[in-house]
Amino acid sequence: MISDTYRDRLQTILNDQLILDAIRAVFDEVIEQEKPRVVEGEDNIVLGQKYRAYEKAKQLLEKGFIDLTGYKNYKLTGKNFNKAR
């Protein structure tokens, strides 16, 4: 569980789609650079393990961005004020 301070700061990023898209583009570029390449003499088992790890990393990054969007509607409960006063 992340702290209220972090959640509050995440709102700045999550409310700016251009910043969020730029961050996603950086992660997509990094993961694409790590895409497994077929190497002469490498057996199918090793190649399969590399592709499985690559696909798992992509899934984890996607889950991370999905989790981030879950914080978009987050509101701090302690910062509400009483309008009646």
Query: Is the pLDDT reported for residue 63 higher than 60?
Result: yes
Contacts of residue 36, Cβ cutoff 8 Å, sequence gap at least 6: 47, 50, 51, 54
More confident residue, 57 or 81: 57
Query: Is the pLDDT reported for residue 79 higher than 60?
Result: no
Report yes or no on 25 lying in a domain: yes
* Reported confidence tier of residue 68, pLDDT bands at 50, 70, 90: confident
Mean pLDDT of 38-62: 93
User: Considering Cα of 20, then 21, then 25, then 31, what sign does the dihedral take?
Assistant: positive
Report yes or no on 46 lying in a domain: yes
Q: Domains in the chain: how many in total?
A: 1
And the tokens for 68? 């981030």
Query: Is the pLDDT reported for residue 56 higher than 90?
Result: yes
Mean pLDDT of 24-33: 93
Report yes or no on 67 lying in a domain: yes
> Could you tell me the residue range of the domain that residue 39 belongs to?
4-72
Q: What is the pLDDT of residue 13?
A: 86
Query: Is the pLDDT reported for residue 6 higher than 60?
Result: yes
